[in-house]
Amino acid sequence: MAADLTVHLAGLALRNPILSASGTFGHGLEMRRIVSPSVVGGLVSKTVTRLPRPGNPMPRIAETEAGFLNSIGLENRGIRAYMDKTLAEVADADTLIITNIGGHSAAEFAELAEQLDARAEVDAIEVNLSCPNVDGGRLPFSTDPRVAEDVMRRVRAVTTKPLFAKLSPNVTRIEDIAVAVEAGGADAITAVNTVLGVGIDWRTRKPRLNTIVGGYSGTGIKPIALRCALACVSAVDIPVIGCGGITTASDVLEFIVAGCAAVQVGTASFAEPGRIAALVLELEALLDSAGIAAVRELVGTLDVTPRTPLRPAGEY
């Protein structure tokens, strides 16, 4: 019998643990000719902001040996167009719709969440905490536990929808941010957004991105994302959604064993737009071949017993 892929998180029932990652799969149903929405666990929108944003000037994507750098700059048509056009299109999508929001202040996040709260098409809201905080020296909300908690509290106050807090790996102790967003009312954590990176073309002496610094994603960041996900799982009681470099069914199960309730797939969809659908089939086949009846059985089964006894502190 085919393995049971269903999972539950933050009060949502997912047909499988595989979601698209924000900004990598359109806003809603743009990809439906390649991937039927009914095969994935859910679709996460590109970040929606209060006003339309043209994004950053080109070049804003650069390939690396293992993934790529981007500085798209949250290009989107703004909340009004999203509510009027995109949500109308996804009205009868046969999957969960998670709207990812971005703001420059806690008040702006709350304003967006309040508008989305009124829309039945939205199953959950993902708060992109990697946006720069205009009231805080343009540091991302995701880098300060108090600021991250405040954003979640303000958003929590205006919506009853399940709330995902999307964290950045570009911090020293992601577990502190995880604890803060849980205290602020997050129902789940998405770990993680892109890793800060730079690409240089030494022949032209030019940075590969117009913004110089961008976000690194894809297979190269998987170990970083796994560490972050594991740190979050260990720190909080709310479910964690793993994200970063996931391309194969084995990758999915690594995050599941680390304790993630679900995963998001981003960059892999650029190399192969149908990857996310193939991944669902591969996951089922992999579990079947391993004799595992349900993916849920593997969540958090990581055996952290040291293989060789560790030396007592100070004995080196």
Ligand X SMILES: Cc1cc2nc3c(=O)[nH]c(=O)nc-3n(C[C@H](O)[C@H](O)[C@H](O)COP(=O)(O)O)c2cc1C
Please tell me whether residue 200 adopts helix, strand or coil conformation.
Answer: strand
Candidate residues 82, 180, 194, 255; the one interacting with ligand X per rule CB under 6 A: 194
- Min dist. Cβ of residue 315 to ligand X (A): 39
Please tell me whether residue 140 adopts helix, strand or coil conformation.
Answer: strand
Active site residue 243: no
What letter would DSSP give residue 147?
H
- Min dist. Cβ of residue 127 to ligand X (A): 9
Regarding 217 and contact with ligand X (CB under 6 A), the answer is yes
Regarding 16 and contact with ligand X (CB under 6 A), the answer is no
Indicate which residue of 131, 228, 243, 260 is catalytic.
131
Piece of 67-75, 177-185, 271-279, 308-316 that binds ligand X (CB under 6 A): 67-75
Regarding 148 and contact with ligand X (CB under 6 A), the answer is no
Pair 213, 197: CB distance under 8 Å: yes
In angstroms, the CA 126 to CA 194 distance is 15
Piece of 78-86, 237-245, 280-288, 294-302 that binds ligand X (CB under 6 A): 237-245
Candidate residues 16, 70, 86, 142; the one interacting with ligand X per rule CB under 6 A: 70
In angstroms, the CA 135 to CA 114 distance is 21
Kind and range of the H or E run holding 207: strand 206-207
Regarding 99 and contact with ligand X (CB under 6 A), the answer is no
Piece of 139-147, 238-246, 285-293, 302-310 that binds ligand X (CB under 6 A): 238-246
Tell me whether residue 1 or residue 159 sits nearer to ligand X (CB atom). 159
Candidate residues 178, 186, 265, 280; the one interacting with ligand X per rule CB under 6 A: 265
In angstroms, the CA 51 to CA 49 distance is 6
Please tell me whether residue 36 adopts helix, strand or coil conformation.
Answer: coil
At residue 227's C-alpha, the angle toward residues 226 and 233, to 5°, is 85
- Min dist. Cβ of residue 71 to ligand X (A): 9
In angstroms, the CA 297 to CA 268 distance is 26
Kind and range of the H or E run holding 217: strand 213-217
In the block, which residue shows the tokens 């602020």?
A: 184
Candidate residues 16, 71, 95, 100; the one interacting with ligand X per rule CB under 6 A: 100
Regarding 71 and contact with ligand X (CB under 6 A), the answer is no
Candidate residues 16, 86, 95, 128; the one interacting with ligand X per rule CB under 6 A: 128
273, with CB counted inside 10 A (0-12, 13-18, 19+), is middle
Tell me whether residue 93 or residue 228 sits nearer to ligand X (CB atom). 228
Torsion angles phi and psi, residue 41, rounded to 5: -70, -30
Residues 283-312 touching ligand X, rule: CB under 6 A, are none
Among candidate residues 46, 70, 221, the one with its CA nearest the CA of residue 128: 46
Regarding 23 and contact with ligand X (CB under 6 A), the answer is yes
**What does the binding site for ligand X look like in residue numbers (CB under 6 A)?**
21-24, 46-47, 70, 72, 74, 100, 128, 166, 193-194, 217-218, 221, 243-246, 265-268
What residues act catalytically? 131
